[in-house]
Amino acid sequence: MTDYGKIYDKLASIVDEHNIKMDEILKNHTYTKLGGKADIFITPSTYEEVQSIVKFARQENVPFTLLGNGSNLIVKDGGIRGIVILLKNFNQISTDGNQLMAQSGAAIIDASRYALQERLSGLEFACGIPGTVGGALFMNAGAYGGEIKDALDYAIVVDSDGEIVKRSAADLELSYRTSNIPEKGDIVLEAVFTLKPGNYEEIKAIMDDLTFKRESKQPLEYPSCGSVFKRPPGYFAGKLIQDSGLQGTRIGGAEVSTKHAGFIVNKDNATAEEYISLIKHVQKTVKEKFNVSLEREVKIIGEDL
């Protein structure tokens, strides 16, 4: 059996004890409001601490999981074994000429707004994506014709050996909603974007337009994971779900949004089990009606109860 007391003691010699919690309830840290407990929940304050945690976890064979804003994650009801790392203390954003540096725990929305204030264009597309910079790189987040790949110059990561390494955008192999970050086991510490000088009013007009589109089409009043499914070649997931008559279908507290069929909302204290059952029901129904397989965009992690 894992001796979590011993692991706690070791971690407490790496980070301040205030930054370590046992049995932390993860639904309080996920945008989806789903997720059981993390055995150990840690919020490091320096890059050196992240390196030490990775080295310790590798050496002792303790699993660890990175959490961003949990806006593309379903954490199961049984929670996550081992260490969950949240990089919320890394939230600095700055610019140097046309380059914008954002730490991984900063909201990508804040990076987009910062760019506007600095009259830099290139991150307008990200103005409504409710994830962190780290999560956005991991997913190569994108919207309305833009994606991280278009703007990213390089990232600073902690690699699987616990070393700090620079990765160019090309190194990360960013493509539609994927990167090689999970394969390599990298932890993103910061991202540097190369932007273009722009006009404040023009950048703001684009951001206002995208915000209006989001607010009018997406059920932002409820917790969700955004688009549950990737775009199937030649189709739109939302349209297939809508044409299957699934909008408003409910399992427990989870519901296929009546506002945007591509979203499943956590309408009333859904469990992860209910949410996942509804995803499977949608996949099965669309397959039966249209013979199209919907691939999940959202990640499911953790254990069943």
CA dihedral 102, 108, 114, 120 (to 10 degrees): 90
- CA 142 from centroid of its chain's CA atoms: 12
Query: Are 170 and 207 in contact, with CB atoms under 8 Å apart?
Result: no
Quick check: helix, strand or coil at residue 100?
A: strand
Question: Site for ligand FAD (CB under 6 A): how many residues?
Answer: 33
Which listed range, 35-43, 52-60, 165-173, 219-227, lies at the site for ligand FAD (CB under 6 A)? 219-227
Q: Should residue 51 be labelled a site residue for ligand FAD when binding is judged by CB under 6 A?
A: no
Sign of CA dihedral 130, 183, 181, 176: negative
Q: How far apart are CA 299 and CA 75, in angstroms?
A: 8
Quick check: helix, strand or coil at residue 51?
A: helix
| Active-site residue list | 177, 227, 297
**The binder of ligand FAD chosen from 101, 188, 203, 261 (CB under 6 A):** 188
Q: Would you say 47 or 290 has its CB closer to ligand FAD?
A: 47
Q: Should residue 132 be labelled a site residue for ligand FAD when binding is judged by CB under 6 A?
A: yes
Q: Should residue 136 be labelled a site residue for ligand FAD when binding is judged by CB under 6 A?
A: yes
Which listed range, 13-21, 111-119, 167-175, 218-226, lies at the site for ligand FAD (CB under 6 A)? 218-226
- Cβ count near 9 (within 10 Å): 10
**The binder of ligand FAD chosen from 143, 165, 206, 300 (CB under 6 A):** 143
Q: Would you say 174 or 188 has its CB closer to ligand FAD?
A: 188
Q: Should residue 198 be labelled a site residue for ligand FAD when binding is judged by CB under 6 A?
A: no
Quick check: helix, strand or coil at residue 139?
A: helix
Binding site for ligand FAD (CB under 6 A): 31, 65-73, 87, 104, 129-132, 134-136, 138-139, 141-143, 181, 187-188, 218, 220, 224-226, 299
